[in-house]
Amino acid sequence: MARRTQVAIVGAGPSGLLLGQLLARAGIDNVIVERQSGDYVLGRIRAGVLEQTTADLLDEAGVGARMHAEGLVHDGFELCFGGARHRIDLAGHTGGKHVIVYGQTEVTRDLMAARSAAGLPTVYGAKDVAPHHFDGDSPYLTYTHDGQPQELRADFIAGCDGYHGACRAAVPPAALSIFEKVYPFGWLGILADTPPVSHELIYSNHERGFALCSMRSPTRTRYYVQCSLHDKVEDWSDDAFWDELRRRLDPRAAETLVTGPSIEKSIAPLRSFVAEPMRFGSMFLAGDAAHIVPPTGAKGLNLAASDVRILSRALVEHYRDHSDAGIERYSERCLARVWKAERFSWWFTSLTHKFPDTGAIGARLQRAELDYLVSSQAATTVMAENYVGLPFDG
By the criterion CB under 6 A, which residues form the site for ligand PHB? 47-49, 201, 212, 214, 222, 295-298
Strands 99-101 and 72-74: antiparallel
C-alpha 82, offset from chain centre = 30
User: Residue 76's beta-bridge partner residues?
Assistant: 89
Within the chain, where are the H helices?
Answer: 14-25, 38-42, 52-60, 65-70, 90-93, 104-117, 166-169, 238-247, 251-256, 300-321, 325-352, 359-375, 377-388
- The rounded distance, in Å, linking the Cα atoms of 347 and 203 is 14
- The single residue of 299, 318, 330, 353 carrying the catalytic annotation is 299
238, 242, 229, 298: which is closest to 263 by C-alpha?
A: 238
CA torsion angle 265 270 275 279 (round to 10): 30
Among the listed residues 9, 22, 23, 41, the single contact to ligand APR using CB under 6 A: 41
- The rounded distance, in Å, linking the Cα atoms of 87 and 130 is 48
Least distance to ligand PHB, CB of residue 101, Å: 7
146 burial (CB, 10 Å; 0-12 / 13-18 / 19+) is exposed
41/190 with CB nearer ligand APR: 41
44/164 with CB nearer ligand PHB: 44
- The single residue of 14, 224, 295, 330 carrying the catalytic annotation is 295
141/370 with CB nearer ligand APR: 141
Is residue 140 annotated as a catalytic residue, yes or no?
no
Is residue 299 annotated as a catalytic residue, yes or no?
yes
Q: Are 373 and 347 in contact (CB under 8 A)?
A: no
Least distance to ligand PHB, CB of residue 363, Å: 21
Is residue 354 annotated as a catalytic residue, yes or no?
no
Is residue 295 annotated as a catalytic residue, yes or no?
yes
45/390 with CB nearer ligand APR: 45
Least distance to ligand PHB, CB of residue 222, Å: 4
63, 159, 71, 67: which is closest to 111 by C-alpha?
A: 63
127/252 with CB nearer ligand APR: 127
223: which residues sit within 8 A by CB, 6+ positions away? 189, 190, 192, 211, 212, 213, 214, 241, 245
Is residue 387 annotated as a catalytic residue, yes or no?
yes
Among the listed residues 164, 199, 320, 343, the single contact to ligand APR using CB under 6 A: 164
Residues in 265-324 at the binding interface with ligand APR, rule: CB under 6 A: 287-289, 300-301, 304
389, 384, 386: which is closest to 79 by C-alpha?
A: 384
Which of ligand PHB, ligand APR, none sits in contact with 41, Cβ below 5 to 8 A by type?
A: ligand APR
Which region among 116-124, 161-169, 216-224, 239-247 touches ligand APR (by CB under 6 A)? 161-169
Which of ligand PHB, ligand APR, none sits in contact with 213, Cβ below 5 to 8 A by type?
A: none
Minimal CB distance residue for ligand PHB: 214
Q: Is residue 186 within the footprint of ligand APR (CB under 6 A)?
A: no
Interface contacts to ligand APR, rule CB under 6 A? 10-16, 33-36, 41, 46, 104, 126, 129, 160-162, 164-166, 287-289, 300-301, 304
